[in-house]
Structure 1
Amino acid sequence: MSRLIIDFHNHLGRGDPGAGPLQRDLYPEMLIKVMDEGRVWKSVVFPVKYMDFKAACDEIKGYVDRYPGRLIGFGRVGDTPDAPDIVEYCLDELGFKGLKIHHGLENIDPDSPNLKKVLDIAERRRFPIIFDAFSQNAEKVFRVAEAGYTFPIVLAHMGGLWNVTWMDRCIEHAERYRNVYLETSSVLLFAKIEEAVKRIGADRVIFGTDGPGIHPAPEIRKIEILHIPEADKDKILGLNAKRLLGI
C-alpha cells in the first residue's frame, strides 16, 4: 500500500569540531538515500548543534536547495540575544517553515527573555516549533503552552523510549492543550502511541525518525502495525505534517 510519508524530525550539518557522533557530519545525501529506501516523500531538516546557528541555518538552506521538493527547512536557535533575528531571517530570507528548539543541548532557561521573544514571534506568525521532549526536557517544554502560547507545539519523542512516566505526562499535556502535537521518534512502547491516538485523536500525532542515523523503514513499520484505523495511520505518517506545514 502506497502512503504519503513525511518525516518531521531530521538533523543535518557539519557540526562543531569535537561534537558528538550524532551532532556532526550528517549530510543530505545520507538522508536522501534512506528516504528513498523507506519511500519517504519529504523530510523536515534542521541543524545539528552549532555555536553559530545563523551559519548553521544557511547550511541547511543550501541542502534544501540541493534537493528541492524533498527537504523542508527548519531553523534552530539557542539562548542568545540574536535568536529572534535568526528566526526572522530563517522565515523571511531562507523560506523555512518552522523551528527546532532543544532546551537540553542548548541549555536554554525556560524563563529566558531571548526564548520569550522567539516564542512571541511564533505566536504572531503561527509557525510550528518542534521541541525536544525526551524525559525531563519535556518539563521545560510544557511551560510553553502553560504560558498561553497557541502556535503549533510539537513534542519530539513524546517522552522517549520506554519512559512510561514521561510518555503519560506528554499525552496528558496534549489532552489539555489542543495546539500540542506528539511526535513518534524514539518511542519504543508502541501501545503508548495507540493510547495517544485514543486520547487526543490521530490528527495530533506526527511521524518522525530523528534521522538520518535512524532508518525510516522500521519507524514507518512501527506505525503500520498499530491497532488503529488505516486512515489514522495515513494521518500520522504524512497527512498531519502536510497540513501543519501548509504544503
Structure 2
Amino acid sequence: MIIDCHCHAGPGDGLTGPWDSNAALGRYARRARDAGIDRTVLLAAFHSDYGAANAGVARLVAAEPERYLAFAFVHARRDAGRIAAMVRTAVEEYGFVGIKLHRHDAPITGEVCEVARHFGLPVLYDPVGLTSVAELLAGQYPDVNFILPHLGSFADDWSAQLALIDQLARHRNIYTDSAGVRRFDLLEQAIRRAGAHKVLFGSDGPWLHPGVELEKIRLLRLGAGDEGLVLGGNLLRLIGGAGWG
C-alpha cells in the first residue's frame, strides 16, 4: 500500500496564493491514481478559521473514506485555549488521526503538544527551517511523535535540512517527510543516517505532482522492506493503523 502523508485540500479564504485558496482534489486524485498511490492524508489549506477548514476537509474524507484520512489543522496562537476542543471534534466527529500546524501561522506551543499527548496523535509541524525546535520537542515530549516535513525546509535551507538529519538520527520521536525535498543527496543521507523508519513519503499535493514526488522514493533504490516503510508503513505505525492496515 502506498500512502501519501501530505496533501492539502478543501477551502482556503486568503486568496494570496494557492496555499490559502481553495485546494481542489480533482487533478491530484487523477495523478495519484495514475502513479499507483492508494491512499492520502489530507490537510487543510491556510485559512482564517481552521474549524471551518477542517469541516471542509472532513466532507472530502467522508465522501471517499477508503481513499482519504486527515489531520486537524490548528493555529497555535489564534486557537489558543480551544485547541483541545477543536481536536476533539476532529477526532470524535470526523475521525481525524493527527494534528497539523505551520510556523507561518505561529510557532508550535506546549498546548498543542499536550493535546497531542492526550489524544495519542502524531503532530505534523512545518518549522519553516527552524529545525532546532526538534531538540526541544524530543526532550520535553518524548511520548509524542513529531513529523517535520520537507526535511525541515521547503525552501531548501541546506543547513536546516542537515541539522534535521542529525535530529532524526538522535531522537526516537522525530520524523520527516519527503514532500518537496529537491536536494536528493540530502534525502539519501537522511535514510542512510537515520534509517528508513524515520522518513515518510509525502507529495505536498495538490500543488506538487504526486507521481514526481513518488519517483524520488523509487530512485532511492531501497530494499523492499525499507521502501515499504517509507511508502506507508511508517505512517500506519504513527496513526495506529486507523483501519488502514
Q: TM-score, normalised by structure 2?
A: 0.90
Q: Does 1:39 align with 2:36?
A: yes
Q: Secondary structure at the match of 2:205?
A: coil
Check the 8 A contact 1:185/1:210 in 2, yes or no.
yes
Distance 1:180 1:153 in 2: 5
Structure 2: give runs of 5+ residues left out of the alignment: none
Check the 8 A contact 2:103/2:128 in 1, yes or no.
no
Structure 1: give runs of 5+ residues left out of the alignment: none
Distance 1:14 1:162 in 2: 27
Counterpart of 1:107 in structure 2 is 106
Q: Secondary structure at the match of 2:234?
A: helix
Counterpart of 2:161 in structure 1 is 167
Distance 2:37 2:222 in 1: 21
Check the 8 A contact 1:45/1:60 in 2, yes or no.
yes
Counterpart of 2:4 in structure 1 is 7
Residue 162 of structure 1 deviates from its aligned partner by 3.9
- Aligned partner letter, 1:74: F
Counterpart of 1:126 in structure 2 is 120
Distance 2:156 2:112 in 1: 31
Check the 8 A contact 2:148/2:175 in 1, yes or no.
yes
Decide which of 228, 241, 246 is 2:222's aligned counterpart.
Answer: 228
Q: Does 1:153 align with 2:153?
A: no
Q: Secondary structure at the match of 1:167?
A: helix
Distance 2:60 2:48 in 1: 19
Distance 1:20 1:120 in 2: 32
Residue 227 of structure 1 deviates from its aligned partner by 4.2
Taking a change above 3 Å as real, the CA distance of residues 219 and 17 of structure 1, as seen in their structure-2 partners, is: closer
Distance 2:121 2:185 in 1: 30
Counterpart of 2:62 in structure 1 is 65
Residue 118 of structure 1 deviates from its aligned partner by 2.2
Q: Secondary structure at the match of 1:8?
A: strand
Counterpart of 1:75 in structure 2 is 72
Counterpart of 2:96 in structure 1 is 96
Aligned-residue Cα RMSD (Å) equals: 1.7
Number of residue pairs matched?
237
Distance 1:42 1:118 in 2: 26
Counterpart of 2:195 in structure 1 is 201
Q: Secondary structure at the match of 1:210?
A: coil
The percent identity for this pair of structures is: 27
Check the 8 A contact 1:134/1:158 in 2, yes or no.
no
Moved over 6 A (4+): none
Deviations 1:61-119 (A, max 9, x none): 10001112111111111022322211121111211011111022x133x4xxxx32221
Deviations 1:166-200 (A, max 9, x none): 11111111122101111111111112222112212
Counterpart of 1:185 in structure 2 is 179
Distance 2:31 2:135 in 1: 32
Residue 29 of structure 1 deviates from its aligned partner by 2.2
